[in-house]
Amino acid sequence: MSQTTSPRTIFLAGATGAIGAPLTRLLRQAGHRVVGTTRTPAKADALRELGAEPVVVDVFDRDALVAAVTAARPEIVIHQLTDLPPALDPARMADFVPRNARIRREGTANLVAAALAAGARRIIAQSIAWVYAPGPLPHAETALLNHGAEGPGAVSVQGVIALEDAVLQAPAEGVVLRYGYLYGPGTGSDSPRRPMSVHVDAAALAALLAIDHGKPGAYNVAEASAELSTARALDELGWRADFRLPA
């Protein structure tokens, strides 16, 4: 695994999630100070066990979020916030789509505002890799997102577009990680369920590497497939799709 250059203070929003938990482990192993958020006080102890400094905060409370990020004084803010059903249960996903889109729209805007108020130099955010507009395959990061999406998926696509615009247009170094379909602990599946997938440990590695590697912009982060080009993440971040944390 490539190492970061020096210890940083990292504000990790969504530190107890499927990617946030392994990312916290990786950040601490790399020597970084991690201030991690959770919405529920009951999860604060779990963050302490991972070596993070827990902060219980609601991302929709902008004033409280700005105060929390400013107090942490991070160099890097990482956005791994989602609002999804346990184990990514497909039967419940439709109920959570509007809630997750709200996190992407409003939560991201609040987190970016807090990062800027705190003077963070880089903002790294979780996005998804299956919102490209129809076009030639494999999709590279320069391909257009599906702004004209219709039907049930349109809410998710518009949330992603709002998230990416907020991060990439901010007056800081914005990095967007377009993850494939997640599998691994916390996702309800131990193996890929479809093409363009990524293990949560490998997804976490991409966020760790993005602290000190890669130019601002978007990166596709998924295992090799005909649908998606991941050359930029491999070349600029030094990312590995086969990375796994020890059990």
Q: Would you write out the chain's pLDDT as a tens digit for each of its 247 residues?
A: 444 468 999 999 999 999 999 999 999 999 999 999 998 899 999 999 999 999 999 999 999 999 999 999 999 999 999 877 676 767 776 777 788 899 999 999 999 999 999 999 999 999 999 999 999 999 999 999 999 988 878 999 999 999 999 999 999 999 999 999 999 999 999 999 899 999 999 999 999 999 999 999 999 999 999 999 999 999 999 999 999 999 8
This prediction has a pTM of 0.94
- CA separation for the pair 209, 219 (Å, rounded): 12
Helix and strand tally (H, E) in the chain?
8, 9
- CA separation for the pair 165, 186 (Å, rounded): 28
